[in-house]
């Protein structure tokens, strides 16, 4: 009983901190969800803050139309999933070569990986655009897919370092045993490195998916107006929505746009929330197994 009394204050503090930090992360989503369901009188009323008096789903109907949701969603999926998958495979192969083989220029190549991590993307944006223009990749999704396939995707250096750390934790004795049994480097990579580095694939794919999904600057620069993702459509949401409200008063248009814009933002992040909901267990386990938390 005495031991339980001593542990009780620590448990209260622990759960208080967990609830507090959890609320900090959930507050923006709760705020968007609440305001997206408000009608115009609730938005104008000073007595309504977070809980609407009634649920108004017309905001989602208007946002759905303004975003051209299904077309933009499909475009976001293949513009994000394909580069994320290609980038994960390339990062694993590159990290395996750096971790397991000795060759001339290895330190120089590893230094380039570190440099790519340090140099801001805004510095290389213009030269990359000129290269992609000369190669005919502008206004096509290949402006993302091809660089990701060759290790030049968004933040590829981070993923290479993650896989490099994971592969370094694999005992070299496993490769030596496979080599004695007659396995070559390709078979050792496929039979030993890939299964043991599966945690890195989950982390790499989820991070890449989020980076490509939320990228608007490079998407606008490389793909222009021919290819429109959900975040790109959300950037021009106000223009499209104002055209839909051309026959309404300016005051009503502005007030209504607040709730509808929140509905559009919720529709934008909803696919990522659903995807993470089904993969959160694998993601948490992968983070723990990869050792990127410092263990």
Around 118, how many Cα atoms within 13 Å sit in the side-chain half-sphere?
6
* Extents of the domains making up the chain: 29-44+51-68+229-295, 71-227
pLDDT digits (tens, 9 = 90+) for 176-227: 788 887 877 888 888 888 888 877 788 888 889 889 988 888 888 888 777 7
**CA-CA distance, 102 to 112, in Å (whole number)?**
16
Would you state the pLDDT for residue 272?
A: 85
Would you state the pLDDT for residue 175?
A: 80
Would you state the pLDDT for residue 87?
A: 92
19 token code pair: 């609830």
41 token code pair: 């009188």
Domain 71-227 has CATH 1.10.3720.10: yes
Residue ranges for the chain with pLDDT beneath 50: 247, 249-256, 292-295
The pTM of the full predicted model, rounded to 2 decimals, is 0.80
Would you state the pLDDT for residue 249?
A: 44
Cβ proximity of 230 and 166 under 8 Å: no
In sign, the C-alpha dihedral spanning 93, 94, 97, 99 is: negative
**CA-CA distance, 178 to 102, in Å (whole number)?**
18
């Amino acid at each position: 009983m005495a031991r339980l009394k001593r542990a009780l204050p620590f448990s209260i503090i622990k759960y208080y901190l967990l609830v507090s930090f959890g609320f900090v992360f959930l507050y923006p989503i709760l705020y968007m969800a609440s305001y997206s369901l408000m009608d115009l009188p609730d938005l104008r009323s000073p007595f309504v803050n977070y809980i609407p008096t009634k649920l108004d789903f017309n905001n989602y109907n208007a946002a759905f139309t303004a975003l051209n949701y299904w077309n933009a969603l499909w475009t976001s999926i293949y513009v994000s999933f394909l580069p994320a998958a290609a980038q994960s495979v390339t990062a694993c192969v590159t990290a395996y070569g750096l971790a397991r083989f000795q060759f001339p220029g290895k330190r120089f190549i590893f230094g380039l990986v570190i440099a790519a991590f340090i140099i801001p993307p805004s510095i290389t944006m213009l030269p990359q655009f000129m290269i992609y223009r000369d190669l005919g990749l502008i206004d096509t999704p290949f402006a993302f897919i091809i660089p990701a396939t060759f290790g030049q995707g968004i933040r590829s250096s981070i993923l290479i370092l993650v896989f490099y750390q994971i592969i370094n934790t694999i005992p070299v004795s496993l490769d030596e045993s496979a080599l004695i049994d007659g396995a070559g480097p390709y078979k050792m990579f496929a039979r030993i490195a890939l299964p043991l580095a599966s945690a890195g694939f989950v982390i790499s794919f989820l991070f890449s998916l989020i980076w490509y999904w939320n990228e608007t600057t490079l998407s606008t620069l490389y793909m222009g107006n021919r290819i429109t993702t959900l975040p790109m459509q959300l950037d021009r949401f106000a223009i499209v929505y104002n055209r839909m409200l051309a026959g309404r008063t300016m005051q009503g248009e502005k007030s209504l746009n607040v709730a509808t814009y929140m509905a559009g933002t919720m529709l934008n992040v909803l696919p990522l929330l659903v995807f993470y909901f089904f993969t959160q267990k694998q993601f948490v386990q992968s983070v723990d197994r990869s050792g990127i938390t410092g263990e």
